[in-house]
Amino acid sequence: MAKDNRPTGPVVDDKESTHGGFSDIARVLNELFPNRRRPISRQLVHKWYMYREDNKFPEAASTTGSTNGGKGHPEFNYTVVVGWYERERLHRDERRYIRSRTAMAAVALPTQRATTGEEPMVA
């Protein structure tokens, strides 16, 4: 990037900050959870934010100010989002475990009736 071309948004390299935007949240989650199959992108964080009524993603803690009367960009508290991600990840893992156990049980069920000479009881 040339020195004349600067990013459109403010660049904050403050490691002490407790709030951040979509890309900051993605960076923090990727640092905390490096063993994830796919890295978390800022687009994914934005998607979580857009569907927050369904997935219970936390509301924005604040917004960056806009001098032209715009809405600005949402900023989130890191600890709140990390807590949400841990709960969501645990919940997703439980659902995945239940689905896999159900699928294994369906495969393990016998497909033929035992030939004991008795008729099966019908409830």
Across residues 36-47, what is the average pLDDT? Answer: 90
Provide the residue type at 12 as one letter: V
Backbone angles phi, psi at 17, to 5 degrees: -65, 145
Identify whether 2 is part of a domain: no
Identify whether 115 is part of a domain: no
| 3 state SS for 62-73 | EECCCCCCCCCC
Range of the domain at 54: 19-108
Identify whether 101 is part of a domain: yes
Identify whether 97 is part of a domain: yes
20: helix, strand or coil: strand
DSSP H or E segment with residue 74: strand 74-77
Number of domains the chain contains: 1
Identify whether 103 is part of a domain: yes
More confident residue, 7 or 97: 97
Across residues 42-65, what is the average pLDDT? Answer: 88
Cα first-last separation, the chain: 74
Across residues 95-101, what is the average pLDDT? Answer: 65
Identify whether 28 is part of a domain: yes
Task: Indicate whether 57 pLDDT > 70.
Answer: yes
* Alpha-carbon span 92 to 83, nearest angstrom: 14
pLDDT for res 116: 60
More confident residue, 120 or 92: 92
Report the mean per-residue pLDDT for the chain.
Answer: 75
Identify whether 24 is part of a domain: yes
